[in-house]
A and B are shown apart, each in its own frame.
Chain A
Amino acid sequence: MVALLATAACGGEPVPPAGPVSFAADPDQMLTSDSGALHVAVRFSPHPPAVGSEAVQLSFTDASGASVSGLAVSVVPWMPAHGHGTSVDPIVTEMAPGTFVATSVYLFMPGSWELRMTTSGAVDDTAKAAFEIP
């Protein structure tokens, strides 16, 4: 019982996806940023998103459809129904101008999630992708 009552944490270290991450050609979601200045194509891998580690590709374009360069992007996974995020901060890497991949997105429980995006640099803006996982 003492062992049970004592604080314990023995979760496995975050493990990056094995091998290169691939995304479908068609986006899972097309979003418009809160200011309307950016359009965001969101692609999940695995697709559709599932409980566990997820990678998310975010492609930012302007009103003309051109990729937006000079952006810095951060993302926060969030469960609005429960009011919490995740224990691991996702790693966001720019793969090409305007295209970013967030890894270590740990969706640790089923339900409704949001991926809250914040951009800075060329455009200061926010956007939100909502999705559900079984």
Chain B
Amino acid sequence: MTRRRRPSKFRSGARAIAPVAVAIAVAGGLAALPRVAAAQSCCVGTGLLTPARLRTFEDHALGMQMRARSVMGAFRSGGGYASSVSGNRDLGFEESLFGAVRFGSHFQVGLSAPFLQTSRQVAGASGFGGGLGDVAATARFDAVNAGEHGHWPGVAIIAGLSVPTGRPPDEADPSDPLAASATGSGSFEGNLGVALEEIIGNGFVSMASWISQRSARAAGGVGQSFAPRVTALVSGGYTFGHDATVGAFASLLRQGDAHEASGAVIANSGVALVTTGAALALPFWQWWRLQTTLFTDVPIAGWGRNQTVGFGGTLAFIRVWI
């Protein structure tokens, strides 16, 4: 049995959900421990980056993941951190429906449809709204399964594509001045990366890195393109008796400055963020997985740029078929 993993999709924009996506994905993965895994670390990491990641012997899976995140501050363009103004509120919720299907022993694909809600309150205004977010497809090819060749780590190629089925902030209802009904980035986004996994007794360590590219977009007469974004993720976990699993992760993302439609660099528009978290996995019944996590972006000056900083949690339920 081997662990498998796919990249999570990242979106930028008002919701700045990239770090949350990582947290959700990791939570899902760490929790993906069905009863048949029976405390074997080789299976604990299954779906490390997405709950829908299938294990070697699984044919397909369906599930739903819920997430909540509260913004507590933001990084300035120069890396300084500022806490949110007292009395302001920015809460994000998400329910993602997802599925995954295996084709052969080394290849699997997944599809997720997120539904998002945002609640904002600032001085003199408040808003709540939501809807369908950006639908994403993912693929994973396990070139080498972890544990297949002695102590050599598993190696996989991971890829994903999201489509702008959500509503970007500048297309939100004008009666919603806080753009709480925004649910998407307004761009296509593709990503491609490599994942390594190593099993050490009942524990595991995973490292993955991928590069993402968001398509250019224009709104209100303003157009711009985006620099590639690089994301790195390190995670590890340990499986106890009765299939209970605990794990932790840290992710780092970096994106360079954006460009005007003319090609000129937009100074100080780069993005950076570090997110950490911990997860607990508890399988239930024969073919169900329950997974939960707590995560937080790291609010240390210099550790981020141009991103909101938040904390939150996830809870996912997954049904798998063999």
Complex contact A83–B217 (CB within 8 A): yes
Out of A9, A79, A84, name the residue touching B180 (CB < 8 Å). Answer: A9
Smallest beta-carbon distance A27→chain B, Å: 21
A9 vs B226: C-alpha distance in the bound complex, in angstroms?
A: 29
Smallest beta-carbon distance B184→chain A, Å: 10
A76 at the interface (CB under 8 A from B): yes
Contact with A along B153-186 (1 / 0, CB 8 A): 0000000000000001111111111111110011
B266 at the interface (CB under 8 A from A): yes
A88 vs B182: C-alpha distance in the bound complex, in angstroms?
A: 12
Complex contact B12–A82 (CB within 8 A): yes
- The number of A-B residue pairs with CB atoms under 8 Å apart is 197
- Chain A interface mostly helix, strand, loop or mixed? loop
Quick one: given A4-B117, A9-B180, A111-B308, are A85 and B220 in contact (CB under 8 Å)? yes
Complex contact A8–B181 (CB within 8 A): yes
B85 at the interface (CB under 8 A from A): yes
Complex contact B221–A14 (CB within 8 A): no
Complex contact B173–A4 (CB within 8 A): no
Complex contact B177–A14 (CB within 8 A): yes
Complex contact A84–B186 (CB within 8 A): yes
Contact with A along B54-76 (1 / 0, CB 8 A): 00000000000000000101111
Smallest beta-carbon distance B95→chain A, Å: 6
Complex contact A4–B169 (CB within 8 A): no
A106 vs B258: C-alpha distance in the bound complex, in angstroms?
A: 22
Complex contact B90–A53 (CB within 8 A): no
What residues of chain B lie closer than 8 Å to A134, measured between beta carbons?
Answer: 73-74, 82-85
Complex contact A89–B95 (CB within 8 A): no
A50 at the interface (CB under 8 A from B): yes
Quick one: given A11-B127, A52-B124, A112-B77, are A82 and B13 in contact (CB under 8 Å)? yes
- Interface residues of B, count at CB 8 A: 69
Contact with B along A99-111 (1 / 0, CB 8 A): 0000010101111
Complex contact A80–B258 (CB within 8 A): yes
A116 vs B306: C-alpha distance in the bound complex, in angstroms?
A: 18
What residues of chain A lie closer than 8 Å to B131, measured between beta carbons?
Answer: 6-9
Smallest beta-carbon distance A32→chain B, Å: 15
A69 at the interface (CB under 8 A from B): no
Complex contact A112–B269 (CB within 8 A): yes
Q: Find the A residue at minimum CB distance from B214.
A: A83
B123 at the interface (CB under 8 A from A): yes
A132 at the interface (CB under 8 A from B): yes
Complex contact A112–B306 (CB within 8 A): yes
A81 vs B258: C-alpha distance in the bound complex, in angstroms?
A: 7
Complex contact B85–A9 (CB within 8 A): no
Complex contact B90–A109 (CB within 8 A): yes
A25 at the interface (CB under 8 A from B): no
B268 at the interface (CB under 8 A from A): yes
Q: Find the A residue at minimum CB distance from B186.
A: A84
Smallest beta-carbon distance B235→chain A, Å: 26
Q: Find the B residue at minimum CB distance from A74.
A: B221
Complex contact B177–A104 (CB within 8 A): yes
Quick one: given A15-B125, A83-B226, A111-B306, are A106 and B177 in contact (CB under 8 Å)? yes
Quick one: given A50-B85, A83-B12, A87-B169, are A108 and B120 in contact (CB under 8 Å)? yes
What residues of chain A lie closer than 8 Å to B266, measured between beta carbons?
Answer: 80
Given contacts A4-B95, A9-B176, A76-B220, 20 further A-B contacts (CB under 8 A): A1-B95, A4-B130, A7-B130, A8-B181, A9-B129, A11-B181, A13-B177, A14-B177, A15-B125, A81-B77, A81-B269, A81-B270, A82-B185, A82-B306, A83-B224, A87-B169, A106-B179, A109-B14, A110-B71, A111-B74
Q: Would you mind naming 26 contact pairs between A and B with Cβ atoms under 8 Å apart? A: A5-B95, A10-B129, A10-B176, A15-B124, A53-B125, A76-B221, A79-B14, A80-B258, A82-B185, A84-B14, A85-B169, A85-B219, A86-B170, A86-B179, A87-B169, A87-B178, A87-B182, A104-B177, A108-B178, A108-B180, A109-B16, A109-B90, A109-B308, A110-B74, A111-B74, A112-B76
Give chain A's interface residues, CB within 8 Å of chain B: 1, 4-15, 50-53, 74, 76, 78-89, 104, 106, 108-112, 116, 118, 130, 132, 134
Kindly list the 4 A-B residue pairs having the minimum CB-CB distance in the complex, ordered from nearest: A11-B127, A11-B176, A7-B131, A81-B306
